């Protein structure tokens, strides 16, 4: 399997240093995640993508947000901080340990009134949810991305936004692969591009982020 650098690490570092720094709450999430789940801490979206998500919430005026893949709550808190009064974010997580840490970090961030963490397999939780959502962030298990896309499009209001993380998968999507995550991400990227209900732009931020707007 060939992995590729999506951008020069020095350029990434420069971009991070020229992005509005994370809040104290988000710095706490990063520190706590490294303590609790050291090997997986890289799953956090981080400074640039976290700020991008917050900016998307702010400019779109989103007040109902759905997230698939909470981990320790970094992206959930980043988006919740940008919600207007009365806004709400629902985030889906399968791992009880991740959800427990996220719950305490969401409380410490002072956004517990706006954030609901739903424990369980996302595809099952999605069946119970009622739309419309203004913005959906997909960032859970990669083999399920095609299913998440099909489940989420009807839940997003027309004009609403779906944001999908890791769509470049360290550049592995450029090549055919038997790896289930790579194969599913290739299917997902193809589905999104050819679905007449949406328009999309794939950004080479971090591990690849596709912005998908429902147009029909
Ligand atoms: C990449 S991490 C999410 C990172 C998070 N968005 C952030 O920026 O901090 C993916 C999360 O999805 C969860 N996950 C994996 N499979 C899942 C499933 N089937 N349903 C719900 N969550 C799942 C994992 O336990 C993990 O916490």
Ligand 1 atom nearest to 121, measured from its CA: 20
pLDDT (tens digit per residue) in 36-94: 999 999 999 999 999 999 999 999 999 999 999 999 999 999 999 999 999 999 999 99
What is residue 78's predicted lDDT score, i.e. its pLDDT? 98
Instruction: Identify the pLDDT of residue 1.
Output: 76
Q: Quick check: 75 and 67 in contact, CB under 8 A?
A: yes
- Whether the pLDDT of residue 2 is over 80: the answer is yes
69 C-beta closer than 6 A to ligand 1: yes
Nearest to 150 by CA among 158, 141, 162: 162
Q: How far is CA 77 from each of CA 72, 84, 100, 131, 176, rounded to the nearest angstrom?
A: 9, 13, 15, 21, 36
pLDDT value for 207: 97
Q: Report the candidate in 155, 200, 213, 205 with the shortest Cα–Cα distance to residue 50.
A: 205
Phi-psi region of 150 (alpha: psi -120 to 50; beta: other; left: phi over 0): alpha
At 127-166, the pLDDT tens digits run 999 999 999 999 999 999 999 999 999 999 999 999 999 9
pTM for the full predicted model:
0.98
Phi, psi of 208 (to 5 degrees): 95, 125
Closest CA to 105 of 120, 115, 95: 115
Probe target for ligand 1 pocket from 43, 66, 69, with the most ligand atoms within 8 Å of CB: 69
Please say if the pLDDT value at position 215 is more than 90.
yes
- Kind of pairing between the strands at 198-203 and 209-214: antiparallel
Coil, strand or helix at 176: coil
Q: Is the CB of 75 under 6 A from ligand 1?
A: yes
pLDDT tens for each residue of 97-136: 999 999 999 999 999 999 999 999 999 999 999 999 999 9
pLDDT for position 149:
98
So what's the pLDDT on residue 119? 98
Q: What does each C-alpha distance from 52 to 20, 163, 165, 186 come to in angstroms?
A: 10, 10, 12, 24
Mean pLDDT value across residues 160-189: 97
- pLDDT, mean over the chain: 97
Radius of gyration of the chain (CA): 16
CA of 96 to the centre of ligand 1 (A): 11
74 lines ligand 1 (CB under 6 A): yes
């Amino acid at each position: 399997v060939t992995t590729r650098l999506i951008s020069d690490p020095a350029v990434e570092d420069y971009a991070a240093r020229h992005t509005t720094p994370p809040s104290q709450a988000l710095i706490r999430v990063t520190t706590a995640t490294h303590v609790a789940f050291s090997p997986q801490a890289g799953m956090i979206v981080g400074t640039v993508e976290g700020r991008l998500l917050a900016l998307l919430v702010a400019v779109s005026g989103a007040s109902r947000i759905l997230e698939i893949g909470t981990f320790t709550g970094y992206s959930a808190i980043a988006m919740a901080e940008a919600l207007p009064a009365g806004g709400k974010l629902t985030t889906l997580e399968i791992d009880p340990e991740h959800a427990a840490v996220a719950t305490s970090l969401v409380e410490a961030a002072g956004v517990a009134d706006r954030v609901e963490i739903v424990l369980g397999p996302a595809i099952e939780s999605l069946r119970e949810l009622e739309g419309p959502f203004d913005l959906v962030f997909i960032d859970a298990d990669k083999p399920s991305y095609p299913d998440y896309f099909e489940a989420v499009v009807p839940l997003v209001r027309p004009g609403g936004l779906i944001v999908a993380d890791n769509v470049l998968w360290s550049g592995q999507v450029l090549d055919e692969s038997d790896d289930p995550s790579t194969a599913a991400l290739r299917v997902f990227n193809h589905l999104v591009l050819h679905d007449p209900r949406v328009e999309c732009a794939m950004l080479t931020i971090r591990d690849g982020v596709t912005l998908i707007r429902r147009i029909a």
